[in-house]
């Protein structure tokens, strides 16, 4: 299915961060004390995205209560929720002149509402700036009332990642995660607001086979998902799961073709991450829906 994981292939090379817009984004993020998943998760697209003036903001601190074996975000006891964070994010979005912002978070199992109220407040204030919002949420234990708090604030896209195929979920994700629960989160969001665009994604190269990836796409489509991302897993440190295989570009292309036939908008490639070209994909899908081609 892919190359052995002895060394990174040429197609995984990334561009180095440039100047100009990159420095502007970095400076504003520091000024307003904002965390980004770009840095915390060691995203290979950081230089490319920041140079275009975009970033994915990570709310509710930088310490996660869960410990997934693929993830570079720190695990431990989080700091108290910062009540001023939503206002700072809204101000930074305005200063950056953003038209679209992706908001994600660590898991906060220590909070009674698992962080849903903070998500809702951030979406509310950012949307008041005239900025479109995509949320990439934790599973909220698939509690409808918590998912509803976020959906009710009107994000353009509601995303929650499967991360890996069903068989590998117990090995790859924290034991508190569940493949079926993640699908249920997506179903609930779609049921609460039928016109809402929903999104999920997978990493590949963890030992899955092609049929399992295709099955995950089918499961997602059955849950009402619109957008499906597929990207290569890259080991953040020696303490994380090793890469089992580097998946070649032609396999990503085949996944994209199959997913499209299933009715999904598929973004598939070695360096694709959940937020990769998020605004572009959202607007493409809206145009497709408007033209009746989806």
Q: In this predicted structure, what is the pLDDT of residue 15?
A: 56
**Residues 4, 2: Cα–Cα separation, whole Å:** 7
**Residues 232, 224: Cα–Cα separation, whole Å:** 24
| 122 token code pair | 């951030």
> Domain span at residue 142?
12-291
Binding site: residue ranges? 38, 43, 49, 64, 68, 71, 275
Q: Which residue has the tokens 């937020």?
A: 275
Mean pLDDT of the chain: 88
Domain membership flag for residue 178: yes
What is the per-residue pLDDT across 244-259, written as a single tens digit (0 to 9) for each?
Answer: 999 999 999 999 999 9
Domain membership flag for residue 2: no
| 161 token code pair | 């990642």
Domain membership flag for residue 182: yes
**Residues 100, 134: Cα–Cα separation, whole Å:** 8
Domain membership flag for residue 7: no
Q: In this predicted structure, what is the pLDDT of residue 57?
A: 86
Total count of domains within the chain: 1
Binding site for [4Fe-4S] cluster: residue ranges? 38, 43, 49, 64, 68, 71, 275
Domain membership flag for residue 4: no
User: Looking only at Cα atoms, what is the longest distance across the chain?
Assistant: 49
Q: With CA atoms as reference, report the closest residue to 158 among 137, 174, 128.
A: 137
Domain membership flag for residue 5: no
The dihedral built from the CA positions of residue 111, 223, 275 and 281, taken in this order, carries a sign that is: negative
What is the per-residue pLDDT across 195-221, written as a single tens digit (0 to 9) for each?
Answer: 999 999 999 999 999 999 999 999 999
Q: Assign 191 to helix, strand or coil.
A: helix
> β-pairing, 197-204 with 157-159?
parallel
CATH number at residue 29: 3.20.20.70
Domain membership flag for residue 1: no
Q: In this predicted structure, what is the pLDDT of residue 22?
A: 58
Radius of gyration of the chain measured on its C-alpha atoms:
18
Domain membership flag for residue 6: no
Reply yes or no on whether the pLDDT at 179 is more than 80. yes
């Amino acid at each position: 299915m892919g190359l052995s994981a002895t060394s990174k292939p040429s197609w995984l090379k990334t561009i180095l961060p440039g100047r100009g817009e990159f420095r502007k984004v970095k400076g504003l993020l520091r000024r307003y004390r904002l965390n980004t998943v770009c840095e915390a998760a060691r995203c290979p697209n950081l230089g490319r995205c920041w140079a275009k003036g975009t970033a994915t903001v990570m709310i509710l601190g930088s310490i996660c209560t869960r410990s997934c074996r693929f993830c570079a975000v720190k695990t431990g006891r989080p700091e108290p929720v910062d009540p001023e964070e939503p206002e700072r994010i809204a101000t930074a979005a305005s200063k950056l002149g953003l038209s679209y912002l992706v908001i994600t978070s660590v898991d906060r199992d220590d909070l009674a509402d698992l962080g849903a109220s903070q998500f809702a407040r951030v979406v509310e204030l950012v949307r008041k700036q005239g900025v479109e919002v995509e949320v990439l949420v934790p599973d909220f234990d698939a509690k409808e009332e918590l998912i509803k708090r976020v959906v009710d604030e009107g994000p353009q896209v509601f995303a929650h990642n499967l991360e890996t195929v069903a068989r590998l979920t117990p090995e790859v994700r924290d034991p508190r995660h569940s493949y079926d629960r993640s699908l249920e989160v997506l179903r609930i969001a779609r049921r609460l607001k039928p016109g809402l665009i929903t999104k999920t994604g997978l990493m590949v190269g963890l030992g899955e086979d092609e049929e399992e990836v295709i099955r995950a796409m089918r499961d997602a489509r059955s849950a009402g998902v619109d957008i499906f991302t597929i990207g290569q897993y890259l080991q953040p440190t020696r303490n994380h799961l090793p890469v089992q295989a580097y998946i070649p570009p032609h396999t990503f292309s085949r996944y994209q073709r199959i997913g499209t036939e299933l009715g999904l908008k598929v973004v598939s490639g070695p360096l694709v991450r959940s937020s990769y070209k998020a605004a572009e994909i959202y607007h493409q899908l809206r145009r497709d829906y408007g033209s009746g081609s989806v």
